[in-house]
Amino acid sequence: MKLFEYQGKEIFSEYNIDIPKGSLVEKKEDLKNINIPFPWVMKAQVLTGGRGKVGGIKFADNMKEAEKNFEELIEIEIKGEKVKKILVEEKLDVEREYYLSFFIERSKREYLMMFSHEGGVDIESMAEKIIKVYVNPLSKIQPYHLRKIPKEVREVAKNLFNLFIQNDCELAEINPLAISNGKTIALDSKIIIDNNALYRHPEISQEDAELTPLEKEARDKKISFVKLDGDIGVIANGAGLTMATLDALNEFNGKGGVFLDLGGTDDPEKVKQAFELMIKAKPKVILLNLFGGITKCDTVARGIIDFMESSKVECPVVARIKGMNEDIAREMLKNYVIAVESFEESARKAVELGG
């Protein structure tokens, strides 16, 4: 689960990581109750990145500017996410900015500390300048790990590591980590907590803001549904097959816009619900990639037909069906979908129709 900046900073304070003086507001009237001297930094609270590039961060030198900024910020959407809260902070004189983070390097089964002498930028563009330090989970962080980074940020790094471990984080990031008036201060926060460990952290508010309305609807129906940036809707059964299908689309320069995992179900009603969700996402084309092991292909086909006969489907549906009762399923669906035999061809056809 992703945390908002203000949530992350609350946790930073608990671990002795300094943050700017700030106040969270939801209404314009709340601005008058803020006891922080101007100038202010006003930051839209969203879970997506890149808000500064689209006007999600503004500065105010007086109350009139602050009220105008609030009205503008509360009206915008950033990558489809509506702004509901604004964090108002003191504007600091910054001497230097660093980047610091910890995350799990699964390929090495270790933790990875990343540090850069340049902060406040897209870290992907700084790959050649990043200092990487691997930390064995058994040894935890030691003084020799910290010798590769400046002395003024070592205590923060140690505290951030403890936060990372004790809160079951997948990522704990400070960008930028600023030096201001001799103090090391976290100007931003990015924390992602392992969903499977949330039961251990009842103190963390689970607002589910990282879920779109469709993802929330899918969750309520116990359907795995994730919205991405592309325009091809993928329905498959099993996480591995779903991810492989997205990779296949990428091979042909296509991009999944939604992926929906049916899991092991062949309940026609559940399949119908899945297609209802997919249509609401408005993809240009739907790619159904079904492998019937335990799942019966003909039962899934019945759910598809029930949906298509009761609803208008304006986009083409490409279907690759393999496994138990596949011949029966293909015969049932021949007037409803574009049937394709091979995995490769199904991806190619979907990209072609979605182009």
Give 84-143 pLDDT, tens digit per residue: 999 999 999 999 999 999 999 999 999 999 999 998 767 667 777 899 999 999 989 999
Same-domain check for residues 227 and 145 = no
Do residues 159 and 248 share a domain? no
What pLDDT was estimated at residue 73? 96
Q: How far apart are CA 351 and CA 320, in angstroms?
A: 14
Decide if 134 is catalytic. Answer: no
Total domain count for the chain? 3
Four-CA torsion 333, 338, 342, 345, nearest 10 degrees: -170
| CA angle (204 as vertex; 199, 207 as ends), nearest 5 | 100
Looking at the fold, whether 344 and 258 belong to one and the same domain comes out as yes
Burial of 301 per CB tally in 10 Å (0-12, 13-18, 19+): buried
99 catalytically annotated: yes
Selecting among 6, 89, 97, 99, the annotated active-site residue is 99
CATH at residue 82: 3.30.1490.20
Of 56, 90, 124, the domain-final residue: 90
pLDDT for the residue numbered 128: 75
Q: Tell me the two tokens of residue 11.
A: 């946790």
Q: Is residue 3 part of a domain?
A: no
- The pLDDT assigned to 209 comes to 54
Residue 269 has pLDDT above 90, yes or no: no
Instruction: Give CA–CA dist 205/200, Å, rounded.
Output: 12
Mean of the per-residue pLDDT values of the chain:
89
- Pick the range with the lowest mean pLDDT from 30-34, 36-40, 339-343: 339-343
- Of 130-134, 176-180, 299-303, the poorest mean pLDDT is in 299-303
DSSP letters, 274-296, are HHHHHHHT--SEEEEEEEESSS-
What pLDDT is stored for residue 153 in this prediction?
Answer: 97
CB atoms within 10 A of CB 238: 17
Residues 57 and 112 in one domain: no
Please report where in the chains the tokens 């003024």 appear, as a residue. 152
pLDDT at 103: 95
Q: Are 283 and 274 in contact (CB under 8 A)?
A: no
Q: Which of 80-84, 211-215, 294-298, 315-319 has the lowest mean pLDDT?
A: 211-215
Given 5, 81, 173, 215, the catalytic residue: 173
Residue range(s) defining the domain that contains residue 297: 213-354
Asked, for residue 226, whether it belongs to a domain, the answer is yes
Q: Which 3 state secondary structure label does DSSP give 26?
A: coil
Does any domain span residue 1? Answer: no
pLDDT value at position 120? Answer: 77
Highest mean pLDDT among 163-172, 193-202, 217-226, 237-246: 163-172
Q: Are residues 322 and 253 in the same domain?
A: yes
Residue appearing with tokens 């083409």: 316
